[in-house]
């Protein structure tokens, strides 16, 4: 499969698939004055790393439209939760994973990535599902739900770094008004 095809397939599944479900169900949710969208993103929807740039881009897209829709749909009694799981013992790293052809000039990057991934703790999918269901049944479900310790740590670190960078450049940024 060509790289362009891989990119389009990634967005067709992760972005347009979610949007298709929302478009199909929104009229029903509006009529009944309630509903709850559970849009699956990933901890890769809050930060990225080179081997997953396109996957992360598709999950960033889910984060963006889900945040906007949550505000828009709330007036109709419709909730939205963005689920941000880390790595679980699923087919994510199995046959469903399709990577672009590795290029020799990126060999050190691939080695570092593989070393890091070999140490990553994979979560139990059954525990993740139980957590998600319990949170959705609660009276106060969040807009975003990090699922798994790796997700919680990584997302917190990504947002902390982002805030620190904004703060570092805040005065200079404000000069552009």
SS3 2: coil
The confidence score (pLDDT) of residue 95 equals: 53
Active site residue 134: no
pLDDT value at 117 more than 70: no
- Catalytic residue chosen out of the listed positions 55, 58, 66, 88: 55
SS3 33: coil
- Catalytic residue chosen out of the listed positions 41, 42, 58, 86: 41
The confidence score (pLDDT) of residue 21 equals: 98
Active site residue 9: no
Active site residue 37: no
Supply the mean pLDDT for the chain.
Answer: 89
Provide the residue range defining the domain that includes 134. Answer: 3-174
- Catalytic residue chosen out of the listed positions 37, 42, 59, 66: 59
pLDDT value at 79 more than 70: yes
Contact 63, 53 (CB under 8 A): no
Give mean pLDDT, residues 135-162.
Answer: 95
Nearest to 83 by CA among 15, 9, 136, 120: 136
Lowest model confidence (mean pLDDT) among 45-49, 56-60, 61-65, 66-70: 45-49
pLDDT value at 127 more than 70: yes
Total domains, the chain = 1
- CATH code of residue 32: 3.40.50.720
């Amino acid at each position: 499969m060509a790289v362009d095809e891989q990119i389009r397939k990634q967005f067709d599944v992760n972005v347009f698939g979610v949007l298709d479900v929302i478009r199909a169900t929104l009229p029903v949710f509006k009529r009944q004055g309630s509903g709850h969208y559970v849009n699956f993103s990933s901890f890769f929807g809050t930060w990225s790393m080179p081997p997953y740039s396109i996957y992360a881009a598709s999950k960033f897209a889910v984060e963006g439209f889900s945040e906007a829709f949550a505000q828009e749909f709330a007036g109709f009694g419709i909730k939205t939760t963005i689920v941000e799981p880390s790595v679980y013992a699923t087919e994510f790293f199995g046959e469903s994973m399709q990577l672009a052809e590795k290029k020799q000039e990126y060999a050190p990057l691939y080695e570092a990535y593989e070393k890091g991934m070999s140490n990553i703790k994979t979560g139990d999918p059954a525990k993740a599902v139980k957590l998600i269901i319990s949170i959705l049944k609660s009276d106060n479900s969040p807009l975003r739900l990090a699922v798994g310790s790796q997700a919680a740590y990584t997302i917190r670190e990504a947002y902390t770094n982002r805030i620190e960078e904004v703060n570092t450049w805040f005065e200079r940024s404000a000069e552009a008004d």
